[in-house]
Structures are given as C-alpha cells and as structure tokens.
C-alpha cells in the first residue's frame, strides 16, 4: 500500500518541479534575447556615418537634355556633376556619390532620405554617367538626384529636373 501511494506522489512532485524550472529557463532566454537585440540595434545605428556635407558650388545637371526638349524613346541621358566625384555605392566618401533618375516623380528628396528602388526611381550605383531609358510617348518629368554611397539623397542642392516630350 505504501508503494502504491508513494510512487504517484513522487511522480507528481517531480513533474511539478520540472515544469517550474522550464518556465524560468524560458523567461531567462526571452529576456536575454530581448537584451541582445536592442544592443545590436544601438550598435547598427551608431555605425552609420553622417551624410557628408555638399561642397559649395556643387551641382548636378543633364548634359544633353534641355527643359521642354522633344526626344525619341529610348532616351539617352548623359549625367553631369560639378565639385563632386562620381563613385559606386558602398562606403560613404566625402564629396562623392552616384546618380538616380526619377521618372514622373518628385523634384528631389529631402536631404538624408534613402532613394526608393522602384520603376520610377532608377539607381546608377556602378558610377554610370550615361543611361538609356525607355519612355512612353508624351510628356515626362525627369529628375536627376545625387546620393551618397548608402543611397541617401543630398537633397535639392544636388537635384535638377527637366520636362521632355517623347514623340512616337
């Protein structure tokens, strides 16, 4: 009789103790994971360099397009910049960056804003200075925007816009 009562009682006690320690282990793991994640986030934020200053007199321009010019598709676009170096994406380097062309979009992005990558925001992060862009017939607004190695816009100071009329 003693064995019949003791065995279930002992089993119940072991089961109860085992569940309690698992619960604490789970809570400790969750706490540690949360702490590690927030630590990594603060390190990532602190490692991002500031947006470089734009040198006095720096500007971007379309070398071969004038406002309200009539063109045929695909449109050859030659891009120019003064007082800045054209470079590839990657490390942030003072007085350098790469081109983006916006098609029928905004005139520029606010300084420090990352240029989106979609069908209306074309990236030229391999230091290209020319592009051929297919456009439908009709009027289009083209904006040339310069950005740093992390695709952060230099703002309106390094942007220019032209309107073109694409004929059939």
Question: Which pLDDT does position 168 carry in this prediction?
Answer: 81
pLDDT at res. 37: 36
Average pLDDT over residues 17-23: 44
Class of domain 59-167: mainly beta
pLDDT attached to residue 93: 97
Give the pLDDT score at 35. Answer: 37
Residue with tokens 């862009």: 133
Residue 49 CA: distances (Å) to CA of 53, 82, 92, 126, 139: 12, 23, 7, 21, 39
Give pLDDT, residue 32: 37
- The pTM for the full model equals 0.73
Q: Record the tokens describing residue 167, joined without a space.
A: 């004929």
Q: Where are the domains of the chain?
A: 1-47, 59-167
**For position 47, what pLDDT does the model report?**
87
> 87-128: per-residue pLDDT in tens?
999 999 999 999 999 999 999 999 999 999 999 999 999 999
Kindly report which listed range (10-14, 19-23, 30-34, 47-51) carries the lowest average pLDDT score: 30-34
Q: Is the pLDDT of residue 26 over 70?
A: no
| DSSP-assigned states of every residue in 65-125 | --TTEEEESSEEEEEEEESSEE-BSSS--TTEEEEEEEESS-S---TTPBPP-BTTEEEET
| Region of residue 111 (left: phi > 0; alpha: psi -120 to 50; beta: else) | beta
pLDDT in tens, 29-66: 333 333 333 333 344 556 899 999 999 999 999 999 99
pLDDT range class, residue 19, cuts 50, 70, 90: very low
- pLDDT score for 4: 56
Average pLDDT of 9-19?
A: 46
Q: What does the pLDDT look like over 65-76, one tens digit per residue?
A: 999 999 999 999
């Amino acid at each position: 009789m003693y064995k019949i009562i003791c065995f279930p009682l002992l089993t119940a006690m072991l089961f109860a103790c085992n569940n309690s320690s698992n619960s604490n282990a789970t809570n400790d793991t969750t706490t540690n994971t949360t702490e590690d994640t927030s630590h990594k986030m603060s390190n990532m934020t602190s490692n991002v360099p500031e947006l470089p200053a734009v040198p006095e007199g720096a500007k971007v321009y379309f070398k071969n397009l004038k406002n309200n010019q009539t063109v045929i598709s695909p449109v050859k676009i030659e891009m120019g910049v003064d007082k800045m170096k054209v470079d590839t994406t990657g490390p942030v380097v003072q007085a350098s960056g790469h081109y983006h062309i916006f098609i029928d979009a905004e005139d520029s992005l606010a300084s420090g804003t990352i240029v989106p990558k979609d069908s209306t925001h074309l990236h030229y992060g391999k230091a290209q200075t020319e592009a051929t862009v297919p456009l439908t017939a009709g009027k289009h607004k083209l904006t040339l925007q310069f950005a740093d190695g992390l695709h952060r816009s230099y703002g309106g100071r390094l942007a220019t816009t032209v309107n073109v009329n694409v004929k059939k």
